Amino acid sequence: MKNIVLIGFMGTGKTTVGRLLANRLGRPFFDSDKKIEYEHNMNIREIFEVYGEIYFRQKERMIITRLSRYNNAVIATGGGVVLSPENMTNLKRNGVIITLTASVETILERTSRRHTRPLLDDLDQREKIVNKLLKERAELYHSADYNIDTSNKSLQQVINEIMFYLRQGGYLRGRR
């Protein structure tokens, strides 16, 4: 079976939704950021600080190449995965791509809870940066097979909506 790949901006819920979806489907779950962190024994912030963003993107591409070879997995990606056409080609080859979206207010609210995103460090400029990045990436996120706005939905609602889409699209082969 194809992988189920979650893409989308920071704070749209990819990791949380992915983990629960995998659990519900009885499939293995992988998170590209977590894999990079594990392999470096450093968090994303530290990797950005020590090695810089270009290095991070290079590692991200390597991890995505590897994860794309899996079958039957649920894969959550970092928000910038769409910046590389190579990533998207790899992920699409054996995956159904689902974009999670959220309003700017929701993104700001969710990402302010934990300071783990180096791109959003400048507290005074956060809203401006989020708007700028969203604008730059909007088209890339919309190249998915399915888009779902998570702003005013419970986790369960989001999962149910994804399950409905997957079932309709024949991605679950009538199971669950």
Nearest to ligand S3P of 65, 71 (CB atom)? 65
Q: Please, which residues bridge with residue 148 across strands?
A: 100
If you ran DSSP here, which 8-state letter would residue 96 be given? E
For the bound state, the minimum distance from the C-beta of residue 5 to ligand S3P, rounded and expressed in Å, comes to 13
- Is 82 within 8 Å of 5 (Cβ atoms)? no
Nearest to ligand S3P of 27, 117 (CB atom)? 117
Count of Cβ atoms closer than 10 Å to residue 93 Cβ: 11
Residues that bind ligand S3P (CB under 6 A): 10, 14, 33, 44, 78-80, 117-119
The C-alpha atoms of residue 64 and residue 21 are separated, in whole angstroms, by 19
For the bound state, the minimum distance from the C-beta of residue 72 to ligand S3P, rounded and expressed in Å, comes to 22
For the bound state, the minimum distance from the C-beta of residue 160 to ligand S3P, rounded and expressed in Å, comes to 22
- Is 120 within 8 Å of 130 (Cβ atoms)? yes
- Tokens coding 126: 């956060």
- Tokens coding 50: 């020590």
- Tokens coding 106: 């929701």
Nearest to ligand S3P of 1, 104 (CB atom)? 104
Nearest to ligand S3P of 52, 169 (CB atom)? 52
Nearest to ligand S3P of 11, 95 (CB atom)? 11
For the bound state, the minimum distance from the C-beta of residue 173 to ligand S3P, rounded and expressed in Å, comes to 29
Would you give the end-to-end CA distance of the chain in angstroms? 14
For the bound state, the minimum distance from the C-beta of residue 71 to ligand S3P, rounded and expressed in Å, comes to 23
